[in-house]
Amino acid sequence: MATSYFLIAVFLALASSQAIASDPSPLQDFCVADKDSPVKVNGFVCKDPVHVTVDDFFKAAELDKPRNTKGKVGSNVTLINVMQLAGLNTLGISLARIDYAPLGENPPHTHPRATEILTVLEGTLYVGFVTSNPNNTLFTKVLHKGDVFVFPEGLIHFQFNPVHDKPAVALAALSSQNPGVITIANAVFGSKPSISDDILAKAFQVEKGTIDWLQAQFWENNHY
């Protein structure tokens, strides 16, 4: 009987930990990140409030200027997270400006720690996300200026500017101080060291030569 109670307690503990798995909730008004602290925690240690200033909550004019979109994928993501703005520590939110060249895209990627909500500031975007196995359902929508779309946490998603002669701009909020990003092509074909071409050839059901060619490409990072 004692063993049964123990197993039930363990199960409930695991279930509750999954239910609250997200950025840590603040236990005080703020916890400005002390990036110089040698102490390692999940996130950052709090700076002594005595030394906190208004500039810990401020970032000057980072998102008002168009970004360079001349790279291979034709997009540029400018992220403001806890690494750029120490006051975001424990607040569970970050922000990004995304610039798209004509026919540019923010390629399929995922944020392992955040839901994303995006609004179009200029132009048109074709956006979508794919649900998890086994259904892998694709949800897509064409967005225009002022439209809003949400990408659920952890799901693969993308944005594409379908207009050949006009750029687009979007603003995205993410539900983590450090949402992380995994660009699918970069992770699969550009990992260091490389994933075995035998593994990838079997996974994608193609010849190893195709995998070797893909791994030889330069997989650009469009997040800055």
CB distance 132 to 188 below 8 Å: no
Task: List Cα–Cα distances, 179 to 15, 43, 90, in angstroms.
Answer: 23, 12, 12
Residue 157 known to bind ligand: yes
The identity of residue 37, as a single letter, is S
Task: List Cα–Cα distances, 62 to 24, 99, 205, in angstroms.
Answer: 26, 13, 44
Residue 220 known to bind ligand: no
CA 193 to chain centre: 23
**H or E segment and range at residue 116:** strand 116-122
Task: List Cα–Cα distances, 144 to 87, 95, 206, in angstroms.
Answer: 32, 20, 38
Residue 116 known to bind ligand: yes
Residue 164 known to bind ligand: no
Q: Is 62 helix (H, G, I), strand (E, B) or coil?
A: coil
Judged by phi (left if over 0) then psi (alpha if -120 to 50, else beta), residue 88 lies in alpha
Residue 109 known to bind ligand: yes
Q: Among positive and negative, which fits the CA dihedral 171, 172, 177, 182?
A: negative
Binding-site residue ranges? 106, 109, 111, 116, 157
Binding-site residue ranges for oxalate? 106, 111, 116
Binding-site residue ranges for Mn(2+)? 109, 111, 116, 157
